[in-house]
Amino acid sequence: MADDSFIVGRLYAPLAMIALLGIMIYFHRHKSFKYLYMFNIFCYMVAIFSYFILINHPVGEKFPNPLMAAIPFVWVIAIFEACLLSILSVSFFVFEEAQRHLWAKIVIGIAAVSLVLCGIGIAAWVVLGILSLNSG
């Protein structure tokens, strides 16, 4: 496992996100958002456990059980769902905190400015790409 070059994105980043979601559960322990955070933690745990199963399985050998052939698909679905739910969870957390705290309003303002700048950058990139075409 130490020689895996993808361990940061497949193990350490989900563990950091689980810790962040745990903190968010603490702050929203009386709100219904905590169930979204818990389901997100569950998705990350499924992704981590399926990653451990995949990394311990020898390459090129068949799985001992036919149902274990679905483990790569389980990992992909779990990590994709967890990433999308993480974006949603952090957004809900910041929007909920913005009702009471100034720091969250500042974060929303910075995110909005960043989104506008990214949109302008993408539009400029597309326009420059179209202009660079050599149409005859």
pTM of model > 0.85: no
pLDDT digits (tens, 9 = 90+) for 117-132: 999 999 999 999 888 8
pLDDT digits (tens, 9 = 90+) for 46-85: 999 999 988 888 777 887 888 888 888 999 999 999 999 9
Q: Does the pLDDT at position 136 exceed 90? A: no
Task: Read off the DSSP letter of residue 12.
Answer: I
What per-residue confidence (pLDDT) applies to 2? 56
Residues with Cβ within 8 Å of residue 24, at least 6 apart in sequence: 33, 37, 89, 90, 93
Q: Is 63 helix (H, G, I), strand (E, B) or coil?
A: coil
Cα distances from 31 to residues 28, 98, 103, in angstroms, run 5, 15, 20
pLDDT digits (tens, 9 = 90+) for 9-46: 888 999 999 999 999 999 888 888 899 999 999 999 99
pLDDT-based confidence at 133, cuts 50/70/90?
Answer: confident
